[in-house]
Structure 1
């Protein structure tokens, strides 16, 4: 498993993977909101420490980190359950120092994934970061709050 920093030419592939992942895992999203998010997501890429994750030459997923916050982690749904997510999250914890992540409360599989990897719920919001009515769980690694 290796990663590379995506360039702006890679953004289309990342958005395609994001949409495939969200369609498979975020069935609680309204399609209007999903389309708005699809347009917003690439605007965040330049502000984050982005990594495209590969197994052999296959794009498995991507992550975006801002300081100690994991802002996004999306896997190709065809690759979920193969251990790649665990490899990625452990790498991000050990090498990038992530300690916090927000997860949609309705995304129970993602919540279970983070809880399995030493994160604990430290707070909750009724809306996402863009003010949409999708509750978020705020998670801290080993329950860290600051």
Structure 2
């Protein structure tokens, strides 16, 4: 299981949890959401979004080939769990990436995918640092983690 993908799926399915930990957002020059900067367990990270409308596949959406399994939690039960408890379930393997992917395919916005990028991912320019919207695409720089204001435009970082 990829922790980065699982956490991204969790935040897509439970947007209130993302609002709870978000310290700021990164937007493209036209205002599309590219990332949230968040703190989890005193670790600063970016929840990066990729708008993938042009990548949709007719056979099940963006992640048609990703293996899924049925979750023991319904979407409503997952949204009712405190975030710390959900993270513990993910760490213990009781709530898996495949189960979150299954819930996402049932209830998520498949035109937008999310994953988590840590400081190392942004510093190394890994694929977890890649964001895209209809107006901008590229790897987010490490500076996105240093939010000094609630909304930062990508032009402020370049």
Identify which of structures 1 and 2 has the higher relative contact order when contacts are C-alpha pairs closer than 8 Å and 6+ apart.
Answer: 2
Question: So what's the TM-score if we normalise by structure 2?
Answer: 0.32
Greater strand fraction, Structure 1 or Structure 2: 1
